[in-house]
Chain A
Amino acid sequence: MKSLRQTGLIVFLISLSIFSAVNFTGRFLLTDEILKTKLSDTEYANLKNNFASEVLNKEYSSSWSMASEIIAVYDKKNQEFINAKEWDKVMYTPSKDIAFKLVRASANGWITENKLLLFLLTFGLGIIGSLMFILSELKIHPVAGIKNNGIFQNASTNRGWIGIVTFIFLTGFYILLYFYPYALINSAMITDPVKHLFNPNENASQWFLYGFMYCVVMLVMGIKMIIKYRHNNYQIVRTTVVVFFQLIFAFLLIEILPLFNLPARDLKSAWPLDYTFLFEWNVQELIAAGHFGKFVFVWGIILSLVIIPVMVYFFGKRWYCSWVCGCGGLAETLGDPYRHLSNKKLWAWKLERWLVHGVLVFAILMTIFTGYVTWQIIKNPGSEITDRIFGISVYDFRAAYGFLIGSIFAGVIGTGFYPVFGNRTWCRFGCPLAAYMGIIQRFKSRFRITTNGGQCISCGNCSAYCEQGIDVRAYAQKVRILSDHHV
């Protein structure tokens, strides 16, 4: 059984290496035809001469090299317009998106011809390898029950070298995904066979790749979670439900709704975690999408302002964080092996309260400002709008939120840092929805985490393995309910 486990690990690592390595290869050729179909008319008119002299009909051997040159051309042209004060010509599509779609369409060669094979070699092998690794656990530890033996001696779970390598890999992946998506074009292409099951005419974007990986990881690691907690019915039911929400609401529905010309929205994602709710493009799209769109808009308001408080009143904030939320779902599956790395020091708890409530205030302000702009746009379409409030541009303000909170905090730090800070870093320190639910739970909820009388023997297991960094033992020793914060 040990050898099955090791073979599984090797198979998994091979698949991961293939998945990463494909991005360093390939053949990319940009033609005028591609430019014409992929760019808008003005973009095409602005850029075609510059592209013709620099990038067109030149063969590149990686998506990165082609994308860098496209971006250089694009930025230079835009700068020229800005310098000449030709404001009506300046292009606002982010350069990384232009680069992504052009390079994506320019791909040819062996990767484009062998997508299915590569899919099997990466996702297929990866799943098989992980399952070998995970299922062998049933034979290695045949008795149900938590076994944390050696967790602080293992280099992957004690911030040892494996943990650090994992950290670099995860963080790197998120940085590329958010800021340099064109580096992952070949990886995205590998998921085309899956994307085509939904829509044969559309290719997988980086977000499809991410969503699909997210589901695969949650499913496979969910199985690991269920095996680890198979003595505990609560954990089995909960893990199944949270994986189900991810697969159905955050993935399948997102792929299926557009097929019926309906807006692709994750119906379980609630403001303020979903910070784009009042952005004008979101509201406009929803209003334009008929009854379903309006339903989604009203549902979003009801979810945040009625359902969440009522559910928190009865069941505590865990109903969302460990049963529904995708971020929580990933933390509880992929992140579970790192749960003991969360910091339980008193200063971490103080920092946590400042940060998480700070992000909530930031989110509320951002939403009010954005909502004001959106309201003007919806009410008087086409007329002048005020997009500055207290001298700050609303667009800059929300871009700052998206960058700092949405990408860096929730993504790069939140997930990338699992092997260093534990699996609930974002949830503890950053999530504005957690702050909002936390306030409700503290002042108006029937749900309390209690200790069971005076039975604590101060072993410290609870504190060590609390992923949210709660020093449970400190409460248990004093026989206190976990939300009277007077440690």
Chain B
Amino acid sequence: MPAYRLEKDTSEFTGINVFGIRMRHELFDQWLRNKATVQEVMANLAAANFDPEFYASHELEIISMFNSQKGLNVVPAKKVWWQKLIKSS
């Protein structure tokens, strides 16, 4: 479960500790600058993954844990199968 920091009232995302999952620097930079909400970050966690192919992905677990702790209902943004196939990284 990543530790995340948010402003209590606005849900603004202010930082993250990802426990060894490599994450895209640019995407977080953008989220921080645009004051994205934690919900938005959580929903798009998979897009921020910078691990090589064939690494186990934990996004779904993280999101469901987040939902159950916060009583929220964040749905991960879906990728179409062919987008996964040609995901360039």
The interface stretch among A1-9, A76-84, A256-264, A449-457 is A449-457
Name the A residues within 8 Å of B54 (CB-CB). Answer: 233-234, 236-237
Please report which residues of chain B, range 32-64, place their CB below 8 angstroms from some CB of chain A when the two chains form the complex: 50, 52-56
Shortest B28–chain A CB gap in Å is 8
The count of A-to-B residue pairs whose CB atoms sit within 8 angstroms is: 28
> What total of chain B residues lie within 8 Å of the partner, measured CB to CB?
15
Name the A residues within 8 Å of B85 (CB-CB). Answer: 314
Shortest A165–chain B CB gap in Å is 36
Please report which residues of chain B, range 1-50, place their CB below 8 angstroms from some CB of chain A when the two chains form the complex: 22, 24-26, 29, 50
* CB atoms of B26 and A453 under 8 A apart: yes
Give Cα distance in the complex from A233 to B57, angstroms. 12
Shortest B22–chain A CB gap in Å is 7
Chain A 420-458 near chain B by CB (<8 Å), digits 1 or 0:
000000000000000000000000001110101111000
Chain A 233-253 near chain B by CB (<8 Å), digits 1 or 0:
110110000000000000000
Chain A interface size, as a band, is 10 to 19
Select which of A234, A447, A454 is within 8 A of B55 by beta carbon.
A234
Smallest CB-CB separation from B27: which chain A residue?
A453
Given contacts A446-B86, A447-B88, contact A453 B25 (CB under 8 A): yes
Chain A 374-409 near chain B by CB (<8 Å), digits 1 or 0:
000000000000000000000000000000000000
Chain A 443-487 near chain B by CB (<8 Å), digits 1 or 0:
000111010111100000000000000000000000000000000
The answer, yes or no, to whether B89 is at the interface (CB within 8 Å) is: yes
* CB atoms of B29 and A234 under 8 A apart: no
Interface majority SS (helix, strand, loop, mixed), chain B: loop
Give Cα distance in the complex from A232 to B50, angstroms. 14
* CB atoms of B25 and A455 under 8 A apart: yes
Shortest A80–chain B CB gap in Å is 64
Name the B residues within 8 Å of A455 (CB-CB). Answer: 25
* CB atoms of A452 and B50 under 8 A apart: yes
Give Cα distance in the complex from A237 to B53, angstroms. 10
Shortest B75–chain A CB gap in Å is 27
* CB atoms of B22 and A452 under 8 A apart: yes
Give Cα distance in the complex from A233 to B54, angstroms. 6
Smallest CB-CB separation from B28: which chain A residue?
A453
Name the A residues within 8 Å of B25 (CB-CB). Answer: 452-455
Give Cα distance in the complex from A28 to B84, angstroms. 63
Shortest A318–chain B CB gap in Å is 11
Please report which residues of chain A, range 325-370, place their CB below 8 angstroms from some CB of chain B when the two chains form the complex: none
Given contacts A232-B52, A233-B55, contact A452 B24 (CB under 8 A): yes
Give Cα distance in the complex from A233 to B85, angstroms. 18
14 A-B pairs with C-beta separation under 8 A: A233-B55, A233-B56, A234-B54, A234-B55, A236-B54, A446-B88, A448-B88, A452-B24, A452-B25, A453-B24, A453-B25, A453-B26, A454-B25, A455-B25
Q: Which residues of B contact A (CB under 8 A)?
A: 22, 24-26, 29, 50, 52-56, 85-86, 88-89
Q: Which residues of A contact B (CB under 8 A)?
A: 232-234, 236-237, 314, 446-448, 450, 452-455
A-B complex: 4 closest residue pairs judged by Cβ atoms: A453-B25, A234-B52, A233-B54, A446-B88
